[in-house]
């Protein structure tokens, strides 16, 4: 410890102490407001600005708690439904898509890759408006609402599984599949029994990321939302935040935070466990 | 079939706003540039609402991007060079905002910036603000919007900066020092030029979504004198001025196409290097 302090003091990079201060201030600045917001979801009274004792009434118990207020509860249910269905559509399509891209190569593959990245960097409001007009004008049979939200979000989220699974496919290479087929497996068998298990960590990571990103998505879900019945948590926070909200809104936001944190941690652990053997071999 | 469907869907999604006016015209030969030109000339009319919204957007994005760089660079440099055994901890702390919902982060600040919130109380406690007349942070202050945008997007700046700074081998820096360069010279003539790509990528990644941002402004200010392009687009669409909204989206994309292409080219190059 003593040596650590001495080494730190005699650091040839003299600005290090200044940088330490900047970095710690940065972490405090990014995380403290969120910590305070979570704390206030446990406040004893309706106030969001002064702390008056601990209570869980804003989660359940109070008539305007997350559990009992119909608007908050419906937003929670709606967000979970939307994120769940988006995962169910975007991940299988994305996996299939990346397999196809990996096999094709050539021009078409390059173009689609380009388009995928394009949807990442286009300002989301442009995509949201485009999807809105698409569902209202061209696919007017669908219109706005839950179906449009699921379809639009799945299209937007497709890029995540494609990028993650493609990276994994590149690192796996074609040897295992070829070996399986040399040993008598049909292409389908090779895919199902060799390639898919090898892709599992990437697929699992995609599920976690798409779910977390869908639950937090605001612009596209808002543009495609029809009325109060298709309000998700971010839309609700957006419309209620400036109208004298109660701590139950913080409670709702904290629940989302808990869900996405848990999911990301599980995904990271699973990904590491499944690729550990490979990293050891390499 | 699958990729074709997606290509079509993406192409449709992206191309639609041009043709989809209340009565869509799908034949490019019969397009009427009139309404689009009207919107465009509005923007160049000094004193018009459109022009002032565009100017707000440019000013806010410029200021917030500069702040992101000023905050992001030292932090990224620190994590890459000095964090030592706390490196993983700091990495986790700075990735955390990525999975904390943007709305939650804004909500947190709305709570703190209330007239009787913690920010004013701390400022009052330090004697920096008058406790009798609390600062109205949320009543249309451009400064609040700029700081909100900075807070929202700064993690996206740190990521590419960390990427390039982490890849500069310490032997290069030692060589510069051995050859007699001081700390400042080493930084200015070795580290800074070597991180140029990361700085550019960071600026592009941060400013592109800011140009389309409308929710930060609505949440933290919500007044006409801080409105941005995004607000203009969304309010046009919501008040059935669909054609105006679509034209504005196009103008926004035309404005951003160069940085977007730059970023795509840089990414493609990086991928090629990895594949090789």
For A159-187, how does the pLDDT look when each residue is reduced to its tens digit (9 = 90+)? 889 888 888 888 887 788 888 888 888 87
Q: Average the pLDDT over A27-36 and give the result.
A: 88
Matching residue, tokens 């600040």? B109
Q: Which residue has the higher pLDDT, B172 or A139?
A: B172
Contacts of A155 in chain B (CB under 8 A): 6, 9-10, 13
**Domain B72-227, architecture per CATH:** Orthogonal Bundle (1.10)
Supply the DSSP string of A130-197, one letter for each residue: HHHHIIIIISTTT-SSHHHHHHHHHHHHTHHHHHHHHHHHHHH-SHHHHHHHHTT--HHHHIIIIIHH
Residue of A nearest to B205 (CA): A121
Confidence (pLDDT) at A91: 94
Distance in Å from the first CA to the final CA of chain A: 34
Helix intervals (H) in chain A: 2-9, 16-40, 70-104, 106-121, 124-133, 146-157, 159-172, 175-182, 187-190, 196-216, 219-223, 233-240, 247-281
Minimal Cα–Cα distance from B16 to chain A, Å? 6
Q: Could you tell me the pTM of the whole model?
A: 0.82
Length of chain A measured in residues: 282
Q: Average the pLDDT over A78-102 and give the result.
A: 90
Highest mean pLDDT among A91-95, B20-24, B260-264, B266-270: A91-95
Contacts of A134 in chain B (CB under 8 A): 12-13, 16, 20
- Quote the ipTM score: 0.82
B134 pLDDT exceeds 80?
no
B245 pLDDT exceeds 80?
no
Lowest mean pLDDT across A33-37, A44-48, B32-36, B129-133: B32-36
Domain A70-281 class in CATH: mainly alpha
Residue of A nearest to B26 (CA): A138
Say yes or no for a CB contact (<8 Å) between B111 and A36: yes
A217 pLDDT exceeds 80?
yes
B160 pLDDT exceeds 70?
yes
Closest CA to B105 of A246, A29, A97: A29
Q: Which residue has the higher pLDDT, A71 or B241?
A: A71
Reported as a pLDDT band with limits 50, 70 and 90, residue B9 is very low
Confidence (pLDDT) at B24: 52
Contacts of A219 in chain B (CB under 8 A): 212, 215
Q: Which residue has the higher pLDDT, A23 or A14?
A: A23
| CB nearest A126 (choices: B99, B151, B249) | B249
B58 vs A: CB within 8 A? no
Minimal Cα–Cα distance from A249 to chain B, Å? 9
B249 vs A: CB within 8 A? yes
**Average pLDDT along chain A:** 82
Phi, psi angle pair for A149, to nearest 5°: -60, -45
B185 pLDDT exceeds 90?
no
Mutation site, B70, B103, B156, B265, interface A, largest A CB count within 10 A: B103
């Amino acid at each position: 410890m003593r040596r650590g302090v001495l080494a730190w003091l005699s650091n040839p990079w003299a600005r290090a102490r200044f940088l330490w201060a900047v970095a710690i201030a940065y972490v405090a600045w990014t995380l403290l407001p969120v910590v305070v917001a979570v704390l206030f979801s446990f406040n004893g009274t309706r106030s969001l600005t002064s702390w008056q004792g601990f209570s869980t009434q804003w989660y359940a118990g109070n008539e305007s708690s997350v559990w009992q207020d119909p608007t908050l509860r419906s937003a929670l249910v709606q967000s979970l439904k939307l994120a769940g269905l988006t995962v169910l559509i975007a991940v299988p399509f994305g996996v299939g898509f990346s397999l196809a891209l990996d096999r094709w190569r050539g021009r078409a593959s390059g173009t689609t890759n380009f388009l995928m990245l394009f949807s990442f960097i286009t300002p989301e409001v442009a995509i949201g408006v485009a999807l809105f007009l698409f569902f209202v004008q061209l696919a007017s049979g669908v219109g706005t609402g839950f179906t449009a939200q699921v379809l639009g979000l799945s299209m937007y989220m497709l890029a995540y599984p494609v990028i993650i699974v493609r990276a994994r496919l590149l690192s796996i290479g074609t040897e295992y599949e070829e070996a399986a087929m040399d040993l008598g497996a049909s292409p389908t068998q090779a895919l199902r029994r060799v390639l898919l298990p090898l892709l599992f960590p990437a697929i699992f990571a995609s599920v976690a990321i798409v779910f977390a990103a869908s639950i937090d998505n605001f612009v596209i879900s808002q543009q495609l939302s029809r009325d109060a019945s298709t309000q998700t948590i971010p839309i609700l926070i957006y419309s209620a935040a400036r109208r004298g909200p109660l701590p139950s809104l913080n409670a709702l936001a904290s629940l989302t935070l808990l869900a996405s944190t848990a999911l990301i941690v599980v995904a990271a652990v699973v990904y590491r466990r499944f690729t550990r053997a490979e990293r050891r071999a390499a | 079939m699958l990729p074709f469907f997606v290509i079509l869907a993406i192409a449709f999604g992206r191309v639609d706003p041009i043709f989809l006016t209340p009565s869509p015209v799908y034949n490019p030969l019969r397009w009427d540039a009139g309404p689009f030109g009207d919107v465009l000339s509005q923007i160049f009319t000094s004193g018009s609402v459109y022009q002032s919204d565009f100017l707000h957007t440019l000013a806010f994005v410029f200021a917030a991007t500069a702040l992101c760089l000023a905050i992001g660079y030292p932090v990224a440099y620190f994590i890459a060079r000095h964090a030592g055994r706390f490196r993983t901890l700091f990495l986790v702390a700075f990735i955390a905002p990525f999975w904390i919902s943007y709305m939650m982060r804004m909500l947190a600040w709305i709570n703190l910036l209330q007239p009787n919130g913690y920010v004013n109380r701390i400022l009052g406690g330090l004697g920096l603000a008058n406790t009798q007349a609390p600062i109205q942070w949320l009543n249309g202050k451009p400064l609040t919007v700029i700081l909100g945008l900075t807070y929202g997007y700064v993690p996206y700046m740190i990521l590419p900066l960390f990427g390039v700074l982490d890849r500069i081998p310490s032997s290069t820096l030692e060589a510069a020092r051995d050859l007699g360069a001081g700390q400042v010279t080493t930084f200015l003539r070795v580290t800074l030029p070597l991180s140029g790509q990361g700085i550019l990528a960071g600026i592009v990644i941060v400013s592109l979504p800011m140009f389309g941002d409308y929710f930060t402004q609505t949440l933290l200010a919500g007044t006409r004198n801080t409105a941005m392009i995004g607000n203009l687009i969304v309010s046009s669409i919501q008040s059935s001025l669909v054609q105006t909204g679509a034209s504005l989206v196009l103008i926004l994309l035309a404005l951003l196409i160069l940085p977007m292409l730059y970023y795509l080219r840089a990414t493609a190059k990086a991928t090629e290097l990895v594949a090789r």
